[in-house]
Chains A and B, each alone.
Chain A
């Protein structure tokens, strides 16, 4: 099978796992004693948030790889940009699903809680990164400046998080990561939760691969245009 086929198969796999997560989350798992059916958001919301962080992690690593002279290659820049775009989508999804969850549980669509605020800042932070790329025309400049901006964001996120946590917090403390899959979550619920993480991560990978390939194709097309323009200029003499 060629690469394209592999990507298509992987995409189908990712979407199937998401579908299974939905079936499990909506029908197979039981409602919560306190939260009722609302608890079903737990199969989506944390997984989506995890993917957003994963995406920005990839952005940071590939930006560092671009800035470091030994590994400098446009591929890293394209990967950073692709991952950020997907990350922004997942950050927005995190905010939306969180908001939907928050309305019935806390009674408000939005509250200035630490994690919400950090996530909102994360969204505008990386929107700024994408905007900077848009206004920078020269390819090399765009790559360098984008990488520096991504590095600034990377250093900023923990500081933002720390400051906002000190500021105030009323978010439920993380239930999954600290526990030995535990009295609170059991059986099929735990499996569905895990499947949610897996499936959204797979979707992320698939989207980034797709976006990256488009970016590469765009660059190739641009290259072709440039080669043509050079030939034309040389030939015009």
Chain B
């Protein structure tokens, strides 16, 4: 399983290094969203600091939709997904490999996003390590469900519209907990004992387990 995961993750990241879709298209998207939020709160720029945690997670969620769609569109490009089945790769390994590859891309995007929030919104961050931890765990939770849903929908006619409809309600707890965790950490109130971080961990763990177990059923035609 781990061998398959490594093969898939390395392959996906190599494709990203060559095609630079995340770098050239999703990263600018994040920048645009950061600017657009500033327009939306145009009258009260100070509010941006208050709502920054929420904006962070909304932006992360939307860019994860794009990254997930990209990750699976390259599999359907030349029916490569068929190949993965033909080569007899362990479905659980494919699942984990996909999660890892998109997670690496998302971490890059979220570092950029955090910098944007610090510099454009004049937000002061204190507990950087805690912040990074809760962000990564939260993102892992989003992707744990997202990879399953993307695999289900990537071959369907309505793939662009159905993925957000499926994913957004399910990851609502991540949005809530992630925002709260960020708020607490910005306020310097809580460390890793924060129950919100606990909820993020629980979410990620539950859906990683489910995804690993069910990806075979999802992938097989």
Contact = CB atoms under 8 A, between A and B. Distances in A.
A135 B158 contact: yes
B218 A159 contact: no
Chain B, interface size: which category? 20 to 34
Contacts of B210: 151-152, 155
Interface stretch (A25-33, A140-148, A216-224): A140-148
A121 to B, nearest CB: 5
Interface string A38-61: 000000000000000000000000
Interface stretch (B24-32, B71-79, B162-170): B162-170
A162 interface: yes
Contacts of A125: 169-170
B173 A144 contact: no
Given A67-B214, A148-B217, A167-B180, A156 B165 contact: no
Given A148-B148, A148-B152, A67 B217 contact: yes
B162 A159 contact: no
Interface string B64-98: 00000000000000000000000000000000000
A169 B165 CA distance: 26
Interface residues of A, number: 30
Interface string A148-169: 1101110110011011101100
A141 B169 CA distance: 22
Interface of B: 145, 148-149, 152-153, 156-158, 162, 165-166, 168-170, 172-173, 176-177, 180, 195-196, 199, 202-203, 206-207, 210, 214, 217-218, 220-221
Interface of A: 67, 121, 124-125, 127-129, 131-132, 135-136, 138, 141, 144-145, 147-149, 151-153, 155-156, 159-160, 162-164, 166-167
Given A124-B168, A141-B221, A155-B207, 20 more contacts: A128-B170, A129-B166, A132-B152, A135-B156, A135-B158, A144-B220, A145-B152, A148-B148, A148-B214, A149-B152, A149-B166, A151-B214, A152-B149, A153-B170, A155-B210, A156-B170, A159-B202, A160-B172, A164-B173, A167-B176
